[in-house]
Structure 1
C-alpha cells in the first residue's frame, strides 16, 4: 500500500471517529449544561473567525511555494519567516484590538472583551499551528495533523465540560484545560515536524528578497487571506453573534442542533477527493458535456442520501429529545432543524459548484462569493437579532437565506461560464417521495413509549423512500452503497 493510500485510510478513520465523538458528546453529554457548553462553543468559533487576520494566508503559502523553496534548500527558512510574520501579525492585531476598545469603550460589554485573556492567546496558538499543519502536509503526512486539528478540539470541549460539570472544577480551571489542549497540539506539531525533518530555524531575509519572491508570496497570501476570512466568518459568525446578542444557553442549544444536522453531510465526506481529479481533467480538456453529466450524477447522489438522512432526523428528532437531558429546550428549537436542514439539503443538491469554480481559471470568483456570503450572513444575523424576537430561529433563517443565495449565485455562474448545472428532474422526484414519507410518518399515531416512535417512524420513512425509489428508478441505491459510497469513506 502506498504512503498516500495508507495516510488516506488512516485519515478517514480518524475523521469518522472525530465525527462520532463530537456528535455523541453533543447529544448526550453537553446538553446537561447548555450555558457552559454555549460558552465553549463561543470561544473557539470566535477565535477562528479572527484567525485569518493573523495567519494572513501564510499557511497556504507554505504549500504553494514549498517545492520552489525546497529545491533551493530554503523551505525551512520560509517556514521560519512565516512563523515570525505570524507573531508580528499577532502583535499588530493585539495592539489594534486594545486600541479599538480604548477608543470605543462602550463595546467593552461584549463577551469578546470579557474573554480576551483566553481568546487572544488561543488565536496565536491556532495561527502558529495552522502554519505547521500546512507545512507538514507537504511531506504527504496528514494523519497526525488531522488528530491535532479535529480530535484535540473535541477532546478539549469534552474534557473541559467533564471537569466543570462532573468534577466541580471552576470555569477558569476548565478553560485552562481547554486552552492547554491546543498548546499540547501546537507542541505536537513541532515535535512531529522535527521528526520528519530536523527543524533548523533560519530568519534570514536574503532569499525572499531575491528576485522579488516576497511580492509573489504577499500576493498569493493576500488572496488566500480573503478567501479564508470569508469562509471563517460565514461559518463561525453564528456562534459569535448568538453569544453576544442572546445568551450562552441559546448558543449551546443551537450548537447541539447543528451537531444533529451534521448527519446530513455524511454523504459528502471524502467524495470531493475522489471527484476532484475528474473535475480537473474535464475542465482542462474542455469536455463540459462530460463535466455536466458527472456534476448531475454526483449532485443527485449527495442530495438523495442527504434527503434520506434529513427525513429520518425530522421525524425522529422530537422523540430523540426525550432521551436527552434538557431535551425540552431542544424541542422548542425544532424549527431550527427544519430551516437549516432544507438549506443544507440545497447545498448538497448543488454538489461541487464551488470546486468547479476553484479548479478553473475563474478561481478568484470564489473569493468574491465567499466574501458576499460572509457580509450577507453578518447583515442578516444582525437584522434578525435586532429587529425581531425570533432568537436562534432568526439566526437559522439568516444562515439559510445567505447559504441559499450563495449556492444560487454559483449555479448561475457555472451555467453561464461552463453550461453545466447540478440540478436534474430526478431531484424533484426524490423531493416528492421524501415529502410524502415525512408527511405519512408524522400523521401516523404515536406509541406510548418514545423509544418505539424513535425506531418505527424513521423506519416508515426509509420504507416509503426506498419503495418509491425502486419503482421510479430515481437513484441506484444498491450500486452506490456497495461501491462508490464506501470508496468515499476511505479515499482521501
Structure 2
C-alpha cells in the first residue's frame, strides 16, 4: 500500500482517537459547565483566527518552495528564516494590538481584550507550530504531527476543564484561582506541543539554524517567497469555524459557544478522513501541476474526493440516526442540545458538500492561479461574517442561524471553485459514483428512521446506526463504489502498524 494510504489512514486513526477524547468529554463532562468550556473554545478559536496575521502565509511557502530549496541544500536556511520572521511579525502584531484601543476604545469592552494574557502567548505558540507542521509535511510524514496538532489541544481542553471543576469545589465562588490554574495548564500543553514539533523535525532532518540571507537574495528569490507568503496570508481568512466561535462568544454568550463546540465535535467526525489525505497529497498535487499532467491529477482528484465523500456520508448517516438517542446519556443540558438538532443536519450537509469537492482549494493554492483562491477565501470569510451578523441581529435563530450562514457561504465557496478548476485545469472532483453514494445513504437513513423505536435508548443508539451501516455495506457490495477489500486485508493492516 502506498505511503499516501498508510499515512492517511494513520492520520485518520489519530483523528478518531482525538474525536473520542473530545466526544467523551463533550457527552459526560462538558455539559456540567458549558460556560467555562465555551470560554476555553473562545480562547482557542480567537487565537486560531489571529494566527494568520503572525504567520503571514510563510508556512505555505515552506511547502511551495521546499522542492527548490532542498535541491540546493537550503531547507534549513528556509526553516530558520521562517521562524525568525514569525517572531518579528509577532512583535509587530503586539504593537498594533495594544495601539488599536486608543483609536477604537470599544475594543476594551470585548472579551478578546479581557483575556488577552492567555490569547496572545497562545498566538505565538500556534504560529511557530504552523511553520513546523507544514515543513514536516514535505517529508510525507503527518502522523506524529497529527498527535501534536489533534490530541494535544483535546488534552489541553479536557485537562483545563477538569482542573477548573475540581478547584471550583475547593475555592470560594469569587476566587480566580480555579480559572487561572486551568488557563496555565491549557497554555502549558501548547508549550509541550511546540517542543514536540521541534524534536520530531530535528529527528527527520537535524535542525541547523542558518539565518544567512545570501541564498534568498540571489536572483531575488526573497521576492517570490514573500509574494507567495503574502497571498497565502490573504487566503487564510476562510477559517469559518474559528470566526463562528469568536462571534458566538462575543455576541451570543459563552454558554452558547459551549453548545456550539459540542455540536461541532460531532460534525467534525465527518471530515476527519479529509484532513489526512489533504496534508499528505499536497506534494503530489504540486508535482502533477509542475509536470503538467492534468489527466493524472484528475484521476487522483476524483478518486480521493469519492473516498472522503463516501466515508463522510457513512459517518454522517450514522450521526443523523443516532444523535437523538445520544443526548439522553448526557448528565445535564442534553435537552438543550437536542433542541439544536437542526444544526447537525445543516452543518453536516454543508460539510458533505465540502468533502465532495475534494482538494479544489489545494490545486488552486499550489498553481499559478493561487491568487484566485485568495479571493475565494475572502469571499468565504466575508459571507460568513456578514450572514452571521444578519442572523444574530435580525432573527431569533441563534445557533441555527449560524449554521445556515455556514452552509450558504461554504456551499457558494465550493461551487465557484469547482467551476474554476474545470475550466482552468480540466479537472473535477465530481463523479457518477457520488450520486449512488447519496442514494444509498439516503435510503439507509430513511429505513433506519422508520424502524420501530424501543423504550431503551441505548438499544436505539446501537441498532439504528448498525442498520445504516449494514444497508450501506450491502449497497456498496452491489455497486462496487468503495474498494473495501483493499483496506480489510492483512497486508494493509500490517503496513499501517509501521509508524515511520
TM interval, shorter chain, is 0.7 to 0.9
1:384 aligned residue (355, 370, 391): 391
Pairwise CA distance, 1:79: 4.1
Name the SS of the counterpart of 1:166 in structure 2.
helix
Deviates more, 1:253-262 or 1:457-466: 457-466
Distance 1:176 1:54 in 2: 22
CA spacing shift, 1:72–1:303, aligned 2, 3 Å: closer
Q: Does 2:129 align with 1:129?
A: yes
2:481 aligned residue (468, 472, 475): 475
Which residues in structure 2 correspond to 1:137-148 (within 5 Å)? 142-148=142-148
CA spacing shift, 1:368–1:266, aligned 2, 3 Å: same
TM-score when normalising by structure 1: 0.86
CA spacing shift, 1:183–1:356, aligned 2, 3 Å: closer
Pairwise CA distance, 1:271: 3.9
Name the SS of the counterpart of 2:225 in structure 1.
helix
TM-score when normalising by structure 2: 0.84
CA spacing shift, 1:437–1:195, aligned 2, 3 Å: closer
- Structure 2 match to 1:110: 110
CA spacing shift, 1:393–1:470, aligned 2, 3 Å: same
Q: Does 2:96 align with 1:119?
A: no
1:374 aligned residue (375, 381, 384): 381
Pairwise CA distance, 1:353: 2.7
Distance 2:76 2:41 in 1: 35
Name the SS of the counterpart of 1:230 in structure 2.
coil
Deviates more, 1:480-489 or 1:369-378: 480-489
- Structure 1 match to 2:150: 150
Q: Does 2:248 align with 1:249?
A: no
Deviates more, 1:36-45 or 1:65-74: 65-74
- Structure 2 match to 1:309: 315
- For the 8 Å contact 1:18–1:154, the answer to whether it is kept is yes
Deviates more, 1:38-47 or 1:300-309: 300-309
- Structure 1 match to 2:466: 459
Pairwise CA distance, 1:287: 6.3
Pairwise CA distance, 1:309: 1.9
Pairwise CA distance, 1:216: 2.9
- Structure 1 match to 2:93: 93
CA spacing shift, 1:278–1:43, aligned 2, 3 Å: closer
Pairwise CA distance, 1:236: 1.4
Distance 1:333 1:271 in 2: 31
- Structure 2 match to 1:217: 225
Deviates more, 1:167-176 or 1:109-118: 167-176
Name the SS of the counterpart of 2:488 in structure 1.
helix
Distance 1:76 1:474 in 2: 46
1:185 aligned residue (186, 193, 208): 193
Distance 2:484 2:8 in 1: 25
Which residues in structure 2 correspond to 1:56-71 (within 5 Å)? 56-65=56-65
Name the SS of the counterpart of 2:358 in structure 1.
coil
Name the SS of the counterpart of 1:439 in structure 2.
helix
CA spacing shift, 1:457–1:366, aligned 2, 3 Å: same
CA spacing shift, 1:314–1:207, aligned 2, 3 Å: closer
- For the 8 Å contact 2:448–2:465, the answer to whether it is kept is yes
- For the 8 Å contact 1:434–1:465, the answer to whether it is kept is yes
2:184 aligned residue (173, 176, 179): 176
Distance 2:191 2:88 in 1: 19
Q: Does 2:408 align with 1:401?
A: yes
Which residues in structure 2 correspond to 1:301-450 (within 5 Å)? 301-326=307-332, 327-450=334-457
Distance 1:261 1:367 in 2: 26
Distance 2:480 2:204 in 1: 49
- For the 8 Å contact 1:208–1:214, the answer to whether it is kept is yes
CA spacing shift, 1:488–1:332, aligned 2, 3 Å: farther
Q: Does 2:264 align with 1:261?
A: no
Pairwise CA distance, 1:482: 3.3
Deviates more, 1:422-431 or 1:370-379: 422-431
Alignment size in residue pairs: 489
Pairwise CA distance, 1:8: 7.5
Distance 1:129 1:389 in 2: 39
Deviates more, 1:435-444 or 1:406-415: 435-444
- Map Cα deviations across residues 100-141 of structure 1 (whole Å, 9 max, x no partner): 222111232211111111111111222233334444556666
Unpaired stretches in structure 1, ≥5 consecutive residues: none
- For the 8 Å contact 2:384–2:409, the answer to whether it is kept is yes
Deviates more, 1:475-484 or 1:155-164: 475-484
- Structure 2 match to 1:30: 30
- For the 8 Å contact 1:429–1:474, the answer to whether it is kept is no
- For the 8 Å contact 1:269–1:488, the answer to whether it is kept is no
